A and B are shown apart, each in its own frame.
Chain A
Amino acid sequence: MADNENAAPLASREGALEFFRERYGLDNQSLTDTLGVALERQVDYADIYFEHSSLDSVSLEEGIVKSGSRHLEQGVGVRALSGERQGYAHSDEISLESARLAAGTARAISADTGASHKISVAGQTGHDLYPMEQSSSELPVEEKISFLSELDSYARRKDSCVEQVMASVITHNRKILVCSSDGILAADMQPLVRLNVQVIAADGSRREVGYEGRGGRHELQRMMEPQVWQEMVDEAIRVARLNLSSVPCPAGSMTVVLGPGWPGILLHEAIGHGLEGDFNRKKTSAFSDRIGQRVAAPGVTVVDDGTLPERRGSINFDDEGTPSQRNTLIEDGILVGYLHDKLNARLMGTEPTGNGRRESYAHVPLPRMTNTFMLGGEDDPEEILKSVKKGLYAVSFGGGQVDITSGKFVFSASEAYLIEDGQIGAPVKGATLIGNGPDVLTRVDRIGNDLALDRGVGTCGKDGQGVPVGVGLPTIRVNDLTVGGTEG
């Protein structure tokens, strides 16, 4: 296949191109011919997307690996855009014929006859964020099974309060190829691994769950190092034990200190979704028309960065073939940018930002986040805690959700403590925190120097599509956040 002269010979790109060419006969010429079918009507843009993925999982429960699974998914999706109109068709057969049929269906959104311009495509240059020594799925299943068994006996030996251990190893290997009418040919192999550990601890009749998960775009073997998984098991047990002694959480508006790392889900819900290009193009977001305005306290800078090596939310290219990049969303408290896919960037007269992502070939790309985090500040985290007379210190969270239009968002604390006179007090039961996206960051008045990213288990859902993402945060202090406990 003809390559762009400037394209670096990246293993993940070359490997994927060769896979689709060898296995399905998808070469440069046949791809442009097929895309040409979608361009036989007047459309602004068309793309064709091939995907082949395998998902392998082995899970342990009650001391044994009762089951293992392997799922293969493959297909092609063709899209045509005309103004704000979007036509989409997909098939689960990878062939030029099924792609041609889909192209014929997708172009039907344009009633205008007459062909669009002819195209030629060139290899897209990009990152190489997850070079792999070997594919994780090639690890023999027996090795994964004995690994999980060892993990199980370690957990049971570690603490007699452990009643159940559930653990799973999941590897997802995705190969994609995108060919678009703006001349891009991009291909990638995207590895994704994950280890989940969950324990149920009992104390008398009281039972609590503790969970720890980690993952990223790297070899599975890295998480099978004893110091890594033992730390995870220790952490899951610590959380379960902590929950066994938790007291009811207070209710009402109070000062909240968020710990570093995973609490960055605050940014994802409160800010990130509201800055996605589709909502802002349609002006349905609480952040619509607010570029250049203050949406956070001075000192607050928030970025979305798809280029961090090996992170769960990172991608060499997005699913439209645009290389990922580091996008600043809020700079020193001022809103400076949105996240774009091609459709919304074109309609808003700007450039795509490498955020056009999709769950699979069966879905259209949407503007989505990658790794979203706040840059670290100057404050000592311990000093931040000491500064709070009465409040809540939240260090870990479950899921969250946002109403894009009203800006109201929630996120659920799974590990939190009372703060009394600057000291960390008793652990409290899980509670939902609720706030208003456009003003919550204006009440951030302390920013720690301890920025951390999460452990690599986040999945973001939008319009029924899940994509892997990351978040990050330094320790911050937020005034007047509503905490949904039971103690009035």
Chain B
Amino acid sequence: MTALTNTHDLELINLAIERARKAGADQVDAVLIRADSREARVRGEEIEFVKQASECCLGIRAMMKHTTGRSTALSSTSDLSPHAVEQIAVDVVTLAQATAPDEHAGLPDGGFAKDLPDLAMHDSGDQNVSIEARIEDARTTEQAARTFDPRINNSEGSQASSDFSEVNYGNSAGFSASYKSTYHSLFSSPLATEGESKQVDYWSTVGRRLVDLEDPASVGRRAAERAIGRLGARRVPTCEAPVIFDSLIAPSLLGQVTSCLNGYSVYRKSSFLADQMGTQIASDLVTVIDDGRMMGGLGSKPFDGEGLATRRNILIENGILRSWLLDTYSGRKLGMASTGSASRSVGSGPSVSTTNLWVTPNAGTLDEIVHETGRGLLVTGLMGMGFNPTTGDYSQGASGYWIEGGKIAFPVEEITIASNLGTMLKTIDAVGEELVWRGRTASPPLRIQQMTIAGE
């Protein structure tokens, strides 16, 4: 912990906590986040955009004790002068005096993170990466995309960014700690044209360390290849067919599933899975794990948004629902302990989020799954927000490829895929063998036995 501790920021946090306690707060916690970002975009031959910025913000949560529980208020400011910090500490207490007591509100009863392992979330050598070096990465990516094929004749550009951040957290129960993290990315979005057909697609790579990123030229080529693959896309007739989510799209499905395991949705009964703990909610091919302590993981952190130790949670095991995602408050509402899943932004109180989330791999490459499918749809792009967590009803815009005779036949677009998430989970009949991390959530390709495809 000592190596990571930022003395000045933790002092500011202590100042805020002490001031709020003096103003009458029973419990207080505060988070101070500093971020430094560099971003460059090259489009064609031109450096189109360069941005450099530093940001910092402090958020305080104050709770007042009443006979029937605690009332809560939140405040934040980007003005970190001691005067401004003291002012919001007093203001937040005034606000907390007006809100209503809640028997479940409050800091965790204990169990704050004791060990704070180094999760390889940053590489101090990268700290000095210059904007010029990232401009060169973007340029190499853009050139590779633009020269890949004569049908690539335009682009939205290629973008490189490096973000450095430091999270400091402290509370009136005596816990305080910090961690640093880095996030580098490289993104390319070329445009392919052939006759009347004009298509854009993208490819990206992200990592905690620059060395974890894919080679810039290969990012550009991959993006170009994907845009060209979409040329000539068309609708298919309305039908029912098997649907494969590729590994880029399957994580969005996983995100929709975990939104229904969020403790807040469960106690509010706004999740269709709210009363299904311990039951078979998915096919036995499906095991879903969330692990906040994966080395170098893009969602890793040594402690959660309330100072509790992060950990590995098995959410779904061979199709059986095993765990909700809980912070202290939603846990208390359900009579359970936190799962160390609290997330915290400066502007809000604790909420629940996943960390590094994945579906455990099973068998078969994407090609093998396509081959075995015979006839159906491979989805490589989704559009819209057509998912209702309360009922599980699912309807989204999609693009991808039509599969005929076990082979990719032609690209498709302007279609929708629809079903109910409960049915979809139970009818997952293939989980691929490859797991590649391209963010905080990863999944092998997944196949749903049958969905309604709306088109012509």
Contact = CB atoms under 8 A, between A and B. Distances in A.
Are A and B a genuine interacting pair, yes or no?
Answer: yes
Interface residues of B, number: 77
Interface in A146-184: 163-164, 166
Interface in B345-388: 347-349, 383-386, 388
B99 A72 contact: no
B248 interface: no
B200 A85 contact: no
Contacts of A73: 77-78
B100 A65 contact: yes
A87 B50 contact: yes
A408 interface: yes
B198 interface: yes
A403 B393 contact: no
B56 interface: yes
B270 A200 contact: yes
B50 A86 contact: yes
Contacts of A87: 49-51
Given A88-B49, A109-B50, A284-B156, A66 B102 contact: yes
Interface in A179-238: 200, 202, 206-209
B415 A141 contact: no
A173 B149 CA distance: 50
Contacts of B73: 67-70
B94 to A, nearest CB: 8
B411 to A, nearest CB: 11
A32 B346 CA distance: 34
Contact of A64 (B74, B100, B452): B100
Contacts of B384: 399-401, 410-412, 432
A482 to B, nearest CB: 5
Contacts of A405: 191, 198-200
A434 interface: yes
A130 B328 CA distance: 43
A433 to B, nearest CB: 8
Interface in B370-428: 383-386, 388, 390-391, 393, 395-397, 399, 413-420
Contacts of B270: 164, 200, 207, 209
Contacts of B262: none
A89 B454 contact: no
B78 A75 contact: yes
Contacts of A402: 383
A92 interface: yes
Nearest to B269: A207
A67 B349 contact: yes
A105 B36 CA distance: 14
B279 to A, nearest CB: 14
Given A200-B270, A484-B386, A83 B46 contact: yes
**Chain A at the B interface: mostly helix, strand, loop or mixed?**
strand
Interface residues of A, number: 79
A488 B233 CA distance: 22
Most chain B CB atoms below 10 A, which of A200, A364, A408: A408
A435 interface: yes
A89 B51 contact: yes
Contacts of B154: 282-284
B68 to A, nearest CB: 10
Contacts of A398: 385-386
Contacts of B233: 406
A453 interface: no
B397 A434 contact: yes
Contact of A482 (B75, B349, B455): B455
B235 interface: yes
A206 B269 CA distance: 10
Given A282-B43, A404-B200, A410-B386, A430 B347 contact: no
A412 B395 contact: yes
Contacts of B399: 408
B77 A484 contact: no
A282 B49 CA distance: 14
B76 to A, nearest CB: 5
Contacts of A488: 238-240, 452
Given A71-B77, A283-B154, A404-B200, A145 B390 contact: no
B390 A209 contact: yes
Interface string B33-51: 0000000000100111111
Interface stretch (A247-255, A307-315, A383-391, A467-475): A247-255
Interface in B230-268: 230, 233, 235, 238-240, 268
Contact of B452 (A109, A145, A251, A408): A251
Sort A-B residue pairs by CB-CB distance and give the 8 closest, nearest first.
A484-B416, A410-B397, A410-B384, A405-B200, A64-B100, A432-B386, A251-B454, A69-B74
12 contacts: A65-B100, A69-B348, A70-B75, A71-B77, A87-B50, A163-B269, A208-B391, A251-B453, A252-B454, A400-B384, A434-B383, A484-B418
Given A72-B78, A249-B395, 18 more contacts: A70-B74, A70-B92, A84-B43, A85-B48, A93-B79, A209-B390, A282-B43, A284-B156, A398-B386, A410-B384, A412-B385, A412-B386, A430-B388, A430-B393, A430-B395, A432-B386, A482-B415, A486-B420
